[in-house]
Structures are given as structure tokens and as C-alpha cells.
């Protein structure tokens, strides 16, 4: 009798439990290209960054680059936050179809108002690859 009640109870729980439908169309990542100012020797220049907002840590961009391209070439002071250094990978091949080396800078910010990881990409001539006028974007 106890076994029958246990089976009946399990069946009732199974039938009454809710199920969650998982959609493949759900966008789990939010990103955008943001034009940001950078002060260099009393001049302000604007650079484009690819920012990722739904992240675990501001260091996620750095982790992504390390896992795919290995050790970085140098660290420099952070642009967005003093306690997060920018990490730079130089002379890396990002696209097999293009015989060009790129420089990638990974940075990020974790504050009460902003929480993102970002990447900046420059071609071998030092031009911003996220600039809408860059030749790679026109291909």
C-alpha cells in the first residue's frame, strides 16, 4: 500500500510540475559599438569599443582573448577603471581570409552604474577597425 501511495504521489507531482520552454531565439548577449573619448597629451580622440553587457566579469573580454590567442604582449593603465588594466595583444591574425595582423585591447568596467567588458581592435596601420569608414567593414 505504501508503495502504491508513493507512486501515486510521484505521478501527481510530475503531472503538476511546471515546465520551462527554452527558445533558440532568445538573445542571451547584449553588445554594442560605443564611440568613446580618450585624452592623449591634451588632445581628445574618439575610439570605438565593442562592449559586452551581459557578462560575469569586466575581465571576460580578456579571458576570451587569452583562451583564443594566449598570452598578451603588455598591460597598460585602464581607460575605464583604475584597478582594471587594459591588456594588449599585438600582431595577431583575427581572420584567416585576411593576411593582416591586428592589435586587440581588452578592458572593462564594474561600477554601480556601468558593468561591461570591451574590446578595441586596430589594424596594422593603427586604424580603428570598428570605425564605420574602415575598409574591412565595407567588405
- In a structure prediction context, what are the per-residue pLDDT tens digits for the chain, which is 139 residues long? 434 343 444 434 344 434 434 334 444 568 899 998 887 788 888 889 999 998 899 999 999 999 999 999 999 888 888 888 999 999 998 877 778 899 999 999 998 888 999 999 999 999 999 998 888 766 6
pLDDT value of residue 139: 60
At residue 9, the pLDDT reads 41
Confirm if 112 and 84 have CB atoms less than 8 A apart.
Answer: no
For the chain, what are the domain ranges?
29-138
Angstrom distance (rounded) from CA 85 to CA 20? 41
Amino acid at each position: 500500500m505504501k508503495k502504491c501511495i508513493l507512486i501515486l504521489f510521484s505521478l501527481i507531482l510530475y503531472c503538476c510540475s511546471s515546465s520551462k520552454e527554452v527558445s533558440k531565439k532568445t538573445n542571451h548577449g547584449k553588445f554594442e559599438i560605443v564611440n568613446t573619448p580618450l585624452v592623449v597629451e591634451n588632445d581628445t580622440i574618439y575610439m570605438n569599443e565593442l562592449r559586452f553587457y551581459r557578462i560575469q566579469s569586466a575581465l571576460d573580454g580578456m579571458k576570451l582573448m587569452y583562451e583564443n590567442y594566449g598570452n598578451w604582449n603588455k598591460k597598460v593603465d585602464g581607460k575605464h577603471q583604475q584597478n582594471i588594466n587594459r591588456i594588449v595583444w599585438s600582431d595577431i591574425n583575427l581572420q584567416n581570409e585576411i593576411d593582416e595582423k591586428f592589435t586587440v585591447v581588452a578592458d572593462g568596467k564594474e561600477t554601480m552604474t556601468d558593468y561591461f567588458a570591451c574590446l578595441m581592435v586596430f589594424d596594422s596601420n593603427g586604424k580603428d577597425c570598428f570605425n564605420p569608414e574602415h575598409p574591412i567593414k565595407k567588405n
